[in-house]
Amino acid sequence: MLNQMVQYSQARLDASFAALSDATRRGVLEHLGQADASITDLAERFHMTLTGMKKHVGVLERAGLVTTRKVGRVRSCRLGQRRLEEEVAWIAGRQQLWAARFDALDQVVEDLKHKETDDGLGT
């Protein structure tokens, strides 16, 4: 069961980061953070074809970042329920890891500087 949860979490992270990897999709999320919009409005705003925008919205929808609703012939988009907490936690974990590594590297550099100074004084 734990393995299934890890796989689900990884698949969810993969979908989110894939969705966020594109500048247009990030722009769509920013726009939808201010106001809901139809796919037609988004296509016009981003100078894209309807087909292209539908594909972008589909990627965001599969990642749970956007929801769509069809009213008549208009498909409107809004931000999804996901708040990217898992993604933020994953990034924070990597940030801590790298910060620790850079701190250790800084210590090595300081130790080498002190050793050079000590060696220089002794000659």
Unique residue bearing structure tokens 């910060």: 99
Would you write out the chain's pLDDT as a tens digit for each of its 123 residues? 555 555 667 888 999 999 999 999 999 999 999 999 999 999 999 999 999 999 999 999 999 999 999 999 999 999 998 888 888 988 999 888 898 889 889 888 988 888 888 776 654
In terms of residue numbers, what domain contains 91?
A: 83-123
14 and 66 co-located in one domain: yes
**Claim to verify: residue 118 and residue 59 sit in the same structural domain:** no
Please tell me the pTM assigned to this model. Answer: 0.74
Q: Are residues 57 and 96 both part of a single domain?
A: no
Domain count, the chain: 2
Q: Are residues 75 and 35 in the same domain?
A: yes
Q: Are residues 25 and 71 in the same domain?
A: yes
- Residue given tokens 């130790």 in the structure block: 111
Q: Do 22 and 35 share a structural domain?
A: yes
Count CA within 13 A, CB hemisphere, residue 75: 14
70 and 119 part of one domain: no
Q: Report pLDDT for 8.
A: 60
CB 19 within 8 A of CB 60: yes
